[in-house]
């Protein structure tokens, strides 16, 4: 009976508010749906999310296949045996599967992927950090796709000391991947020239190879991405992570503004919230490290 009452309440309230010509300015599918996702009680939230999802997605998915771009970024995104896999890929695929929206994912160098979104040659990019420049040409999801820990890495015999102050690193060369944002704290340290000796690489693997060859002193990277690269190289004992971490940075999916996909972005936000409420999101992450991912589709 509780489920039936909630069903009727959500459907009627949703329809009333959407059809009210004198309603509040700025009402959209996301703001209305999100209100009902906040109904007290876990089961009530799940039911509300399912109902709103059905109401929204029955009419608003696009007919064409969306083109998503990203980079080789293990363990979040990587190619294996001709298939694109990873934690973030599983989350993205499941989100769009629930939306009944076909997608195609392409791996590109990050700088090229960003340019594709900026020029409107692709529909969306993941997993992207927010910064003011990117927000001028991309509509970011409100929901966080993956929180990512940014850390510093050095060769195991390095004497470099790090206590959280970038000024202590001014005399060292720092390796980064071209056009990758490492979060507000690190990006600002580069922009204000606190860190000025920056060495660029095209991929995370190339960046790690340069560190191992002594081409620069300190590597900045997503923590788990760097550890995964080292494991695959068989070099886990040759590099150490400096403590403390720089920061934990949220990353998102961002849709090209030139493709006018803000409504689809709002749908994605609702589905992502559904996945977090019903436990799917947590199961993807925990399951990935325990065994091979099990959520698959033909996209």
Nearest to 149 by CA among 225, 252, 207: 225
Does the pLDDT at position 71 exceed 80? Answer: yes
Q: Residue 77: which of 64, 65, 87, 62 has the closest Cα?
A: 87
Torsion of CA 170, 187, 198, 149, to 10 degrees: 90
**pLDDT score recorded for residue 28:** 46
Point out the least confidently predicted range of 26-35, 170-179, 238-247: 26-35
CATH of 61-146+251-290, one of 3.40.190.10, 2.30.110.10, 3.40.50.1100, 1.10.1740.10: 3.40.190.10
| Residue pLDDT, tens place only, 36-64 | 555 555 555 555 555 555 555 554 556 69
Beta bridge partners of 177: 201
Q: In terms of DSSP H, where are the helices of the chain?
A: 2-19, 29-37, 42-60, 87-98, 110-119, 132-135, 184-191, 204-212, 223-233, 262-278, 280-290
Encode pLDDT of 255-297 as tens digits.
999 999 999 999 999 999 999 999 999 999 877 755 433 333 3
What confidence tier does 221 reach under pLDDT thresholds 50, 70, 90?
A: very high
CATH superfamily of 148-250: Periplasmic binding protein-like II (3.40.190.10)
d(CA 181, CA 251): 10
Say what the pLDDT of residue 287 is.
Answer: 78
Tokens of 78: 């990587």
Specify the pLDDT at position 99. 95
pLDDT digits (tens, 9 = 90+) for 73-115: 888 999 999 999 999 999 999 999 999 999 999 999 999 999 9
Rounded Cα gap, residues 148 and 184, in angstroms:
13
CA–CA dist 68, 116 (Å, integer): 10
Task: Say whether the peptide bond before residue 228 is cis (omega within 30 degrees of 0).
Answer: no
Instruction: Answer yes or no: pTM beyond 0.85.
Output: no
| pLDDT for res 24 | 43
Biggest distance spanned by C-alpha atoms of the chain:
68
Query: Hey, what are 36's tokens?
Result: 């009902």
Annotated domain spans of the chain: 2-59, 61-146+251-290, 148-250
Q: For residue 18, what pLDDT is reported?
A: 46
Q: How far apart are CA 191 and CA 97, in angstroms?
A: 39
Q: Which long-range contacts (CB under 8 A, 24 or more apart) does 186-192 make?
A: 186/150, 186/220, 186/246, 186/247, 187/131
Q: Above pLDDT 70, what percent of the chain?
A: 75
CA nearest to 152, candidates 132, 178, 173: 173
pLDDT (tens digit, 9 = 90+) per residue, 150-183? 999 999 999 999 999 999 999 999 999 998 889 8
Fold match between 61-146+251-290 and 148-250?
Answer: yes
Average pLDDT over residues 214-239: 93
Residue pair 41/85 in contact (Cβ under 8 Å)? The answer is no
Query: What is the rounded distance in angstroms from the CA atom of residue 29 to the CA atom of residue 270?
Result: 9
Query: What pLDDT, on a 0 to 100 scale, did the predictor assign at position 218?
Result: 98
Residue 244 pLDDT: 96
């Amino acid at each position: 009976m509780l489920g039936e009452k909630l069903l009727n309440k959500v459907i009627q309230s949703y329809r009333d508010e959407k059809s009210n010509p004198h309603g509040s300015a700025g009402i959209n599918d996301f703001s209305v749906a999100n209100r009902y996702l906040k109904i007290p009680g876990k089961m009530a939230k799940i039911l509300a999310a399912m109902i709103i999802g059905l109401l929204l997605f029955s009419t608003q998915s696009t007919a064409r296949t969306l083109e998503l771009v990203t980079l080789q970024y293990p363990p979040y995104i990587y190619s294996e045996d001709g298939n694109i896999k990873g934690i973030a890929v599983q989350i993205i695929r499941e989100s769009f599967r629930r939306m009944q929206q076909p997608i195609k994912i392409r791996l590109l160098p990050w700088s090229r992927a960003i340019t594709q979104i900026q020029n409107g040659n692709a529909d969306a990019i993941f997993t992207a950090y927010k910064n003011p420049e990117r927000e001028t040409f991309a509509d970011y999801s409100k929901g966080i796709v993956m929180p990512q820990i940014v850390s510093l890495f050095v060769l195991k015999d390095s004497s470099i000391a790090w206590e959280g102050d970038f000024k202590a690193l001014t005399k060292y060369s720092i390796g980064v991947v071209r056009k990758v944002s490492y979060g507000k704290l690190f990006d600002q340290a580069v922009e204000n020239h606190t860190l000025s000796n920056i060495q660029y690489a095209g991929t995370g693997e190339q960046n790690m190879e340069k560190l191992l060859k002594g081409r620069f002193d300190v590597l900045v990277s997503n923590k788990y991405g760097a550890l995964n690269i080292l494991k695959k190289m068989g070099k886990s004992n040759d590099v150490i992570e400096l403590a403390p971490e720089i920061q934990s940075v949220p990353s998102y999916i961002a849709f090209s503004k030139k493709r006018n996909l803000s409504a689809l972005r709002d749908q994605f936000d609702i589905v992502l919230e559904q996945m977090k409420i019903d436990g799917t999101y947590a199961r993807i992450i925990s399951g990935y490290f325990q065994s091979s991912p099990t959520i698959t589709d033909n996209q």
